[in-house]
A and B are shown apart, each in its own frame.
Chain A
Amino acid sequence: MDRRTTLKWVLAAGAAWPLKGGRAARADAEPTARGYGTDPNLVANYRPGELWPLTFTAAERRLAAILADIIIPADEHSASASAVGVVDFIDEWVSAPYPRHQEDRTIVHDGLAWLDTEAGRRFGKGFAELGGAAQHGICDDICEESSAALENGDAAKFFALFRDLTAGGFYSTPAGRKDLNYIGNVPLTRFDGPPAELIKALGLDS
């Protein structure tokens, strides 16, 4: 970490939320593409980056991957979020030209910056450089909006959004469906309803 960055963190008193206007220098990275229009091909397969350019910087991608995997790590049931393309998905999301996504873009951009600022304030390092315990320490302070400290309100809002996006990306994939034991979306010749034993066990047979 260079001195200039350290100085910036020190100056950022209490890890204030970045000013909304502070992104003028990144104007070249703003998504400028149009949406997919009112009549897209519904039976084609789409990949992130195909319809509009992805706009995460390399540093943002790295941070996004770390945070996504903190939220959805690999376990005995399924892979981690980043392993199934969730970072690309979130990048597609925040790069999309629609109003909702543009709003989320600001929150995610500022939130990722806040993680680094907060890590610097607490540990003098970037968030990516921290160990798991330190990263979790920061996340614990912002993972629940209703209990987060007042000055962490925006960061908690960011975390809630990022968790929703991570989950949305993850559970949309085959790995996510498998994790939840989803067994539908297959043609059946008949639909028999739930098994009688289950209905009985739940007391729904009367």
Chain B
Amino acid sequence: MRRLSASFRHTSPMPEPQDRPSEHAGTASPAHRRAHQTARDLERYAGLFAQRTRVMRSSAMRDLMAITARPEVISLAGGLPDTSTFPPETFAAQMTKIAQESSAEALQYGPTEGFAATKAAIGRVMAAEGMSPDADDIIVTTGGQQALDLIAKTLVDPGDVVICEAPTYPGAVPVFCSYEAETHQIPIDDDGMRVDELEALMDRLDSEGRKPKFIYSVPSFQNPAGVTLSLERRRRLVELARSREVLVVEDNPYGLLRFEGDPQPPLYQLDGGDYVIYVGTFSKILSPGIRLGWAVAPPPVMEKIALGKQATDLCTSTLTQYFAVEYFAEDRWRAYVHSLCDIYRARRDAMLEALERHFPPQATWTRPGGGLFVWATLPEYIDTSDLLAKALRENVAFVPGAAAYVDGQQGSNSMRLNFSGSDADEIREGIRRIGAVVGEQVGLYETITAEHRIPAPPQPPEPGDVVPLRRPRRET
């Protein structure tokens, strides 16, 4: 059976499709270059590509997502924070101040590891979650995505083992692929990654004389599943990393977007930073457009990461670092994050309510206590990549689950639903439409199979499959 695979960007795991300006330009440009391309030219280029590009793929899903640009489409596919909530006056005042006071510096190159002032702001954000990293261990990166890329660049040789969650952050998949890692995925449940399964996998690898380079996890309000790793599992994971001398990469974009309940300590805090490399970002608490993220790593690792960054882009944008420093100079950022939590909580509630109302009883979904995403799972016979085509005819979009799997095949009956980028009414209407197309397909399947054959008994989950998440309670 045909399946689709996909590659994604970090903060916006589905391309936010916008036609490039050139496509609307009055006259066609670089005419001669493109028109003269022939099949033979293309073959010649193909012959020049590095081996690793074989696993770097464009995606049919990405093409489908392009249609979500139509204004009538309600897109629950994005991973976008709502930047319209950021006060434009603050933006204007800060930029003016930078222009007046630090124009030359803000327009200049900066240090590869980032400004001390930026690191101080990062320190304040991390302190809000109970961490106190040494400034020397921090590197400012171009978004959290670059931090992931640099970490993989530093640690992964072709064929090295990397372990991540199943499902995992869709934007991590192309990173691991482009460094030709052998990626293993560990199932999750309502308490996050199944650390017992992780241990079993590491034992198995151990018996083959292999060891993973690192374990990648989004422990809080995971992208895409919305689940949070329990305290007990956090402790066990850190213990495993220490006893087996394996690195853990903790990606924590959503930890501060907590709607309720007690915060879980970051792995970095539990470990003290010996075996945990921490990845953070300003994308979700300030703006993804400023492209500011960071990594915190033990000094020997940091040294290599910094060399890698030098090769990649010399330094992170000086201008946006000035912007962030200015913003975090006052303590207003906490109030802003607080207001985001209020907005997103209400949107999550709207989504969960709508799911109860409009999704068929065969469907299950997660109930995240924070973050941006709900992960819904449909009966196995529904492929959400195909369903997306039908949903788009109803002017609604989501991310097909296969995007969160390295093989691009598992998770094909799941979908990621974003609740931060649309208002409550749009969310309700969007879920209603998706529920309707799902209901149609369920009905069709039941009609076909009821007349035709007895449905096969449900298969026990294979290792690497998502363990079915707890069914939400239904009100009758």
* A and B interact: no
